[in-house]
Amino acid sequence: MNFDRRQYLALAGSAATAAIAGCSSSGGDTTTTTEGTTTSSSGGSGGSGTTTEVGMYTENGEYYFDPIGLYVEKGTTVTFVNESGAHTSTSYSEDNDAENRIPSGAETWDSGTLTEEDATFDHAFNTTGTFDYFCIPHKSLEMIGRIVVGEPGGPAEGTMPPDGTVPASEKIVSEKSISYDSFQG
């Protein structure tokens, strides 16, 4: 094997070019797949993500979400269930005439008023961070809640909502679900 140096360099060069080309094209494919997955799971309800519930209550003169603090993995669909009374689940965001307390780029939501018992509203959480939300008719009565997706983050961190208090994100992460009773207790 008596390799001419020029020949060797040419071979090495073309191998390197091929490697870079392969690398960037597979990287591009991965990104495309990820975006497609995110889009389809945010559009549909359920999909491969899990589902969990938050109840909305009018009971004993109190108006509340239960659990008031909830941790979910990214991609989880949360079903808000109207257990009693009439309520909304509404994100703290400018399009809902509220200060922004959800991560930048996250989808906002507003269920509209749920009046029937057992009426539900689904929202898929596809962005990591901290989400504060409220009930439009009862936010002045501190009907508010917090959901942490993956890990705490975003504009909700460091302050409490203008209408009351919710559990600290670190506590939500460690306990996964914080009931209204235990938080009031």
CB of 53 to Cu ion, least distance (A): 16
**Toward Cu ion, which CB reaches closer, 90 or 100?**
90
Report the C-alpha gap between 108 and 84 in whole angstroms. 24
CB of 149 to Cu ion, least distance (A): 23
**Toward Cu ion, which CB reaches closer, 59 or 94?**
59
Q: What are the b/e assignments for 106-126, b being 16+ CB within 10 Å?
A: bebbbbeebeeeebebebbbb
Report the C-alpha gap between 134 and 92 in whole angstroms. 7
**Interface with Cu ion, residue 135, by CB under 5 A:** yes
CB of 55 to Cu ion, least distance (A): 11
Piece of the chain touching Cu ion by CB under 5 A; list 24-32, 71-79, 84-92, 104-112: 84-92
In this structure, are strands 69-72 and 177-178 parallel, antiparallel, or unpaired? Answer: antiparallel
**Interface with Cu ion, residue 63, by CB under 5 A:** yes
Piece of the chain touching Cu ion by CB under 5 A; list 32-40, 90-98, 138-146, 154-162: 138-146
**Interface with Cu ion, residue 123, by CB under 5 A:** no
**Toward Cu ion, which CB reaches closer, 29 or 59?**
59
**Interface with Cu ion, residue 87, by CB under 5 A:** yes
**Interface with Cu ion, residue 131, by CB under 5 A:** no
Which amino acid would we find at residue 8? Y
Report the C-alpha gap between 133 and 121 in whole angstroms. 14
CB of 141 to Cu ion, least distance (A): 8
Give the contacts of 101 (CB within 8 A, at least 6 positions apart).
91, 92, 93, 130, 131, 132, 154, 155, 156, 161
Give contact residues for Cu ion (rule: CB under 5 A): 63, 87, 135, 138, 143
